[in-house]
Structure 1
Amino acid sequence: MFQKTFRKVDTLPSTLVPYLGTVFLDHPWADADIRSKVLVGAAGKVEGFIGVFPMRLEWEGRSLRAAFAGSMMVEGHERNPLAGARLLRAFLAGPQDISLTETANAVTLGMWQKLSLPPDLGYSLNWLRIFRPAEAAVNVMEMVSGVARVLRPIGSFADLVVERSGLSTLRAPVSPARRVQFQDATREEFRDAVLTLKDAFPLRPQWDRPWLDWLLDHAAQKRNFGEVAWRVGLSRNGELAGCYGYFGRPRGIGRLLQALCAPAVAGELVDDLFAHADQSGCAGLRGAGHPWLTPDLLTRRTAFLGRTYYLAHARDKALLQPIQSGQALITGLAGENWMRLIGDSFD
């Protein structure tokens, strides 16, 4: 069902089933009370599924049970148009303190809205920064048909001509370090930076080193977007000020995995992120909503688009205040985008 819904193929890769089991059933924060949901028809056949990933958050010294909903699918939706709504209601009726999804599409968004649950605009602002327009266009065409890869040399040549002609360019300038100096980091250094910087967010995951290592191990397995670059930023007195990690490959459109920083240096993080991705050969870079970066993204030739939507629900409405104010760490590694189910392929 997953392959038919999201990959439009009938073949079942040998690695997909164990991966689904690991992600949804056998992971460090598995919760016997918060499970994925299946819809079983009258004949006993599974007709729908919604993957549910439990997580632990903390807020004002309180430990919260959270659940992320993703990978919702229905077989024969035309015959059973209410199946998706039934799965969603079953998910929201769970024992979790807060229900979240980082990757809702337009159909899922409509289901939440019928329940009077609006999207969170700050975390739904997906963004795209193009460095090489022709190569980026070829990259998009390749997503539709692999045959388009024969156009790569033409795209590279077109971007080179524009750049050398002195016409307006979208290339990201390399800005001199001001208050923060960013540098390449190991995955372990990035992990430790995340564990330190997360405490600036009122609503945040209850991460420790083993759990964050587990997430990073899974994120590093995603290969369709390229290799992961880890960077940390230090202030002039050597204090940690920011960090980010993104997937990237030459001629491809990179994907931001996670970025954390003090608000005062968000502009410097964005400048370094764009310059590093550009110098690494990426045709462009995209990311999900990081509200603490949005003001600086707006002023750096960044386009915003509504491709996926962030949705949150809690019976205690006070839990939603940090999300509505953009002060919650609930995206990227703290959300769903580390999963291979989002954008990766299986053998």
Structure 2
Amino acid sequence: MNQSLDKMPLLDNTSLASLHAQPRSVRAMEAGDLQTVGRLFNKAFRNKVQEPGGDLLDYLDQVFLKPPGYSPELGSIVHENSKGQIDSALLAMPMAFDIGGRRIAARLLCAFMADGRSGLVGAAQLTRAIRLSQPDLCFSDNASPASADHWGAAGGMMLPIQSLEWQRIFRPSRAGLRELQTKLPSSRHLPLGPLLGGIDSLARRYFKAFTPPIPKGLVSQAASLDEFFAHSRKMTERFFIRPAWSRDDLAWLMETASLNRTLGNLQCRTIFDAKGETVGCYLFFGQQGGWAHVLNILCLEDREFDVVGQMFADLDANGYAAAHGMAQPFLMNALMRQRQMSFRHRGYFCMLTRHREVNEAAIRHDIFVGGLASESWSRLLTDFR
């Protein structure tokens, strides 16, 4: 979520000279900064100059100052200019990761914001501070082109597949309604439901590709937090880089993600084969009759086709118009076999690490990240308009 930097170029030589001439004041964000940071958020991401509301301040406090494993060294940072004013900020969350069997404290970098061109030097100082910290792992899953350039300047890398979003359409008219409502908000009040339902029924009758096939010998059912926790450990242990969630970590993430009512209700389902063995599960937000926002797809190795196929059959049977989620290398073959599937650029997935073996693992796709280990569930992307 870094679009506030979209029109901000990388520093040229003149800017670099100015940077070195400026007092260096990068520090950890504190509770007393939330009012200023919230105001900067409104200006940078909502294009409005106004004080942040209490709801936004409470959310910033909960997500960025009170997550499990928080410490000032792993949290958000701000830059103060020569007048002592915060002109740029980088919101970040600590997340436990396992890299090659070793637990480390990673950092998810979220909103990167600056106060127009006046905050350009501060933004560069924040980037420099991250690079000089020599992190075990820090990453962002939704960076803008300008922010991705900042990552590259800091020595980071971009992962192309994770920078894509997949979309699978079940009911084309209802799916298209989301685009209409995004571009024309007043259309949300139009009684289009019955008309679109009839169009979709005809489309599905004459174009069978909208209806996903139902895999044989598989069933699914709703799952609890404890079931998802157990599956997440078992089904991601094959990856060199993966989240190392404790139950408390996962409970906090799911509870906080559930606050995003704009995306619907947070749900989890497990998938069983004919022998009763659990072969996969998936976590998603769902709005009845609308879009399913898939956070995580987990599966045993070589069961990707079964799990992806059953997930789409479930979502279609439950009346969703479409589903979308973050692309993952291990799922690409199964996803691309689906009909009515498309991929689009969603934002750059960037990462920075001081460990060569972590870079090498990411290059060979030996990585599981995204979903709950991302900002895709954050209310900062959808609310506080």
TM-score computed with the length of structure 1 as normaliser = 0.90
Describe the SS at the equivalent of 1:335.
coil
CA shift, 1:156, in A, is 3.0
Shift in CA distance, 19/175, structure 1 to aligned 2, threshold 3 Å:
same
Number of the residue aligned with 1:36: 76
Unaligned runs of 5+ in 2: 1-39
Q: Given that residues 130 and 170 in structure 1 are in contact (C-alpha distance below 8 angstroms), is that contact kept between their aligned partners in structure 2?
A: no
Shift in CA distance, 25/66, structure 1 to aligned 2, threshold 3 Å:
same
Number of the residue aligned with 1:260: 298
Shift in CA distance, 116/94, structure 1 to aligned 2, threshold 3 Å:
closer
Q: Given that residues 102 and 310 in structure 1 are in contact (C-alpha distance below 8 angstroms), is that contact kept between their aligned partners in structure 2?
A: yes
Deviations 1:34-81 (A, max 9, x none): 231112222222111111111221223322231111111111x23444
Q: Considering fraction of residues, name the structure with more helix.
A: 2
Number of the residue aligned with 1:279: 317
Q: In the alignment, which of 221, 225, 230 is matched to residue 259 of structure 2? A: 221
Pairing of 1:123-162 with structure 2 (within 5 A): 123-149=162-188, 150=190, 152-153=192-193, 154-162=195-203
Q: Given that residues 215 and 306 in structure 2 are in contact (C-alpha distance below 8 angstroms), is that contact kept between their aligned partners in structure 1?
A: no
Measured in 2, the distance between the counterparts of 1:25 and 1:95 equals 22
Q: In the alignment, which of 274, 287, 302 is matched to residue 236 of structure 1? A: 274
Describe the SS at the equivalent of 1:329.
coil
- Structure 1 residues 137-146 or 148-157, which shifts more? 148-157
CA shift, 1:174, in A, is 4.2
Pairing of 1:187-206 with structure 2 (within 5 A): 187-206=225-244
Shift in CA distance, 14/144, structure 1 to aligned 2, threshold 3 Å:
farther
CA shift, 1:228, in A, is 2.2
Measured in 1, the distance between the counterparts of 2:203 and 2:101 equals 55
Measured in 1, the distance between the counterparts of 2:149 and 2:374 equals 21
Measured in 2, the distance between the counterparts of 1:307 and 1:151 equals 30
Q: Given that residues 112 and 118 in structure 1 are in contact (C-alpha distance below 8 angstroms), is that contact kept between their aligned partners in structure 2?
A: yes
Q: Given that residues 87 and 119 in structure 2 are in contact (C-alpha distance below 8 angstroms), is that contact kept between their aligned partners in structure 1?
A: no
Number of the residue aligned with 2:4: none
Q: In the alignment, which of 322, 329, 333 is matched to residue 291 of structure 1? A: 329
Describe the SS at the equivalent of 2:262.
coil
Measured in 1, the distance between the counterparts of 2:92 and 2:219 equals 39
Unaligned runs of 5+ in 1: none
Q: Given that residues 266 and 296 in structure 1 are in contact (C-alpha distance below 8 angstroms), is that contact kept between their aligned partners in structure 2?
A: yes
Pairing of 1:81-100 with structure 2 (within 5 A): 81-100=120-139
CA shift, 1:191, in A, is 2.8
TM-score computed with the length of structure 2 as normaliser = 0.82
Deviations 1:224-257 (A, max 9, x none): 1111231112233333321101111134222111
Given the alignment of the two structures, is residue 171 of structure 1 paired with residue 218 of structure 2, yes or no?
no
Measured in 2, the distance between the counterparts of 1:284 and 1:16 equals 30
CA shift, 1:139, in A, is 0.8
Measured in 1, the distance between the counterparts of 2:95 and 2:184 equals 37
Pairing of 1:59-138 with structure 2 (within 5 A): 59-75=99-115, 77-115=116-154, 117-138=156-177
Given the alignment of the two structures, is residue 181 of structure 1 paired with residue 222 of structure 2, yes or no?
no
Q: Given that residues 138 and 151 in structure 1 are in contact (C-alpha distance below 8 angstroms), is that contact kept between their aligned partners in structure 2?
A: no
Report the AA paired with residue 158 of structure 1: I
Measured in 1, the distance between the counterparts of 2:118 and 2:373 equals 36
Measured in 2, the distance between the counterparts of 1:32 and 1:220 equals 25
Deviations 1:164-208 (A, max 9, x none): 4x2x24423241334x43222233322332233232322222212
Report the AA paired with residue 163 of structure 2: S
Measured in 1, the distance between the counterparts of 2:141 and 2:259 equals 20
Equivalent residue pairs, number: 342
Q: Given that residues 135 and 152 in structure 1 are in contact (C-alpha distance below 8 angstroms), is that contact kept between their aligned partners in structure 2?
A: no
Measured in 1, the distance between the counterparts of 2:123 and 2:41 equals 14
Measured in 2, the distance between the counterparts of 1:181 and 1:147 equals 40
Report the AA paired with residue 160 of structure 1: S
Measured in 1, the distance between the counterparts of 2:201 and 2:140 equals 40
Given the alignment of the two structures, is residue 307 of structure 1 paired with residue 346 of structure 2, yes or no?
yes
Describe the SS at the equivalent of 2:126.
helix
Report the AA paired with residue 156 of structure 1: G
Measured in 2, the distance between the counterparts of 1:135 and 1:11 equals 36
CA shift, 1:116, in A, is 5.4
CA shift, 1:151, in A, is 6.2
Instruction: Give runs of ≥4 in structure 1 deviating > 4 Å.
Output: none
Measured in 2, the distance between the counterparts of 1:67 and 1:18 equals 21
Measured in 1, the distance between the counterparts of 2:51 and 2:175 equals 30
Report the AA paired with residue 201 of structure 2: L
Measured in 2, the distance between the counterparts of 1:222 and 1:335 equals 14
CA shift, 1:311, in A, is 0.8
Report the AA paired with residue 200 of structure 2: D
